[in-house]
Amino acid sequence: MKKYDIIIVLSPEISKERNIDKKFPEFANGMYVGGLTRMKAACKLFKNNKESKMILVGGCDENKEKPEKTEAMGEFLLKKCNCKNFEQITSLPCSRHNLIAVFNRKKKELKGKRIGILTNFYHLPRVLMFWKELTAEEFKEVPMPFSLCAESIIGRASLDSSRLIKRINSEIKGLGHIEENSYRDKCLYENWHLYEEFIKKNNSILLTKKERKQYEKKLKKS
């Protein structure tokens, strides 16, 4: 298995289950999400990259700076593979803003490093499109990552044909929106009110420079 300086793990869906083994569902909303697969892959990567730093990034809860997703990820890694060399970063909920928070916090640390980005196979094309777009527009010092496909790393996945097809169709639709330049971050449009206070307090981490300028009036504290 290849070695990496930094491994970024994007948060999967989490459930309200207290049992850490059931915390990351494989299916949600009628679709394959592969949460447990992703976390098992993170453990396997750690076992072969014990000198690497893991960055766990996940979206905040509504107007709460409670990092529930990254806390669950950290708990899993500690319990399942005794991984302690990780940092947790809280972002806005979408994949694009996961990356923005990491880049804003870690752009100097990422420069010149061998970076792996871990997620599920269906998610990688979208994440890489966001990564390329963000590094072309603002975070030019951040290199492109190595794609780490969770299903390939553990050599299997809990697949169900109908729910897998639904997942893939959803991703194809999303990729189309990005290609057509019609993609809209729900965080900043219909869901702005859910994260308004969190964004105002942490906009230098959560948003790009362009977004901070675009939402300058909204970001002014009343």
Predicted TM-score of the model (pTM)? 0.93
Least confident residue range of 18-22, 144-148, 185-189:
185-189
Of 81, 79, 55, 59, nearest to 68 by C-alpha is 59
Mean pLDDT of the 96-117 span: 97
Of 166, 167, 119, nearest to 147 by C-alpha is 119
* Whole-Å CA distances, 122 to 7, 61, 116, 127, 146: 19, 24, 16, 10, 16
pLDDT at 74: 96
Least confident residue range of 12-21, 166-175, 197-206:
166-175
Q: What is the DSSP string of 52-94?
A: SEEEEEEEPBTTB---HHHHHHHHHHHHHH----EEEEEE-SS
Least confident residue range of 36-40, 46-50, 113-117, 165-169:
165-169
Strand-pair category, 31-32 with 6-10: unpaired
Confidence of residue 222 (pLDDT cuts 50, 70, 90): very low
Mean pLDDT of the 184-198 span: 88
pLDDT at 210: 95
Q: How far apart (Å, rounded) are the C-alpha atoms in residues 60 and 67?
A: 6
- In this predicted model, which residue has the larger pLDDT, 221 or 138? 138
Q: Is the pLDDT of residue 63 over 60?
A: no
pLDDT at 164: 83
In this structure, the chain runs to a length of 222
| 92, burial (CB in 10 Å: exposed 0-12, middle 13-18, buried 19+) | buried
- In this predicted model, which residue has the larger pLDDT, 43 or 173? 43
Least confident residue range of 38-42, 101-105, 160-164:
160-164
pLDDT at 65: 63
Confidence of residue 91 (pLDDT cuts 50, 70, 90): very high
Mean pLDDT of the 79-84 span: 96
Residue 123 tokens read as 């998610």
Query: Percent of the chain having pLDDT more than 70?
Result: 95
pLDDT at 166: 87
Residue 187 tokens read as 């965080």
Confidence of residue 98 (pLDDT cuts 50, 70, 90): very high
